[in-house]
């Protein structure tokens, strides 16, 4: 079976870090190497900015340093900006997904819904719940 390659929007990544939150399985499965994650420098910077508000800069930096040590986390360098979303700040996730040949962007942000109406480049988006419904069981050992 082909490994699933993802881009996690900050809204999903942030809540997956909390051990008592229902989406913590996403972070745990990432750590366990059950899927691949694509990130860019821009995405990592946004993760750091948003996550440090909740967890503080030391814990955030330690988490991101650990993340980059995982063999299933791939740093991507997009060479083209597609500018497909209304919010320019969200385009970095689309650019990463295209450049990294990701299977899905996982996000709960409704602004990404326009991707289903774009034929080229094809980009698939799932909410965290849709991702859980479609894939969680297949990742379990």
Are 108 and 12 contacting, i.e. CB atoms less than 8 angstroms apart? yes
Asked whether residue 136 carries a pLDDT value surpassing 60, the answer given is yes
pTM of the model as a whole: 0.89
Distance, in Å, from the CA atom of 50 to the CA atom of 14, rounded to the nearest integer, reads 8
Domains and CATH numbers, the chain: 5-139 (3.40.50.1010)
pLDDT tens track for 84-134:
556 777 889 889 999 999 999 999 988 766 678 777 777 889 999 999 998
State whether residue 140 is helix, strand or coil.
Answer: coil
Distance, in Å, from the CA atom of 51 to the CA atom of 47, rounded to the nearest integer, reads 6
pLDDT at 119: 72
């Amino acid at each position: 079976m082909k490994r699933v390659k993802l881009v996690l929007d900050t809204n999903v990544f942030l809540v997956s870090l909390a051990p008592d939150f229902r989406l913590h399985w996403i972070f745990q499965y990432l750590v366990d190497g059950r899927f691949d994650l694509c990130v860019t420098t821009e995405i990592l910077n946004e993760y750091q900015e948003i996550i440090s508000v909740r967890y503080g800069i030391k814990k955030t930096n330690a988490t991101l340093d650990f993340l980059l040590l995982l063999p299933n986390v791939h740093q991507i360098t997009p060479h083209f900006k597609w500018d497909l979303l209304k919010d320019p700040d969200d385009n970095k996730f689309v650019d990463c997904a295209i450049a990294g040949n990701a299977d899905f962007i996982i996000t709960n942000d409704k602004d990404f819904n326009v991707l289903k109406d774009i034929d080229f480049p094809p980009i698939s988006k799932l909410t965290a719940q849709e991702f859980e419904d479609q894939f969680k069981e297949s990742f379990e050992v």
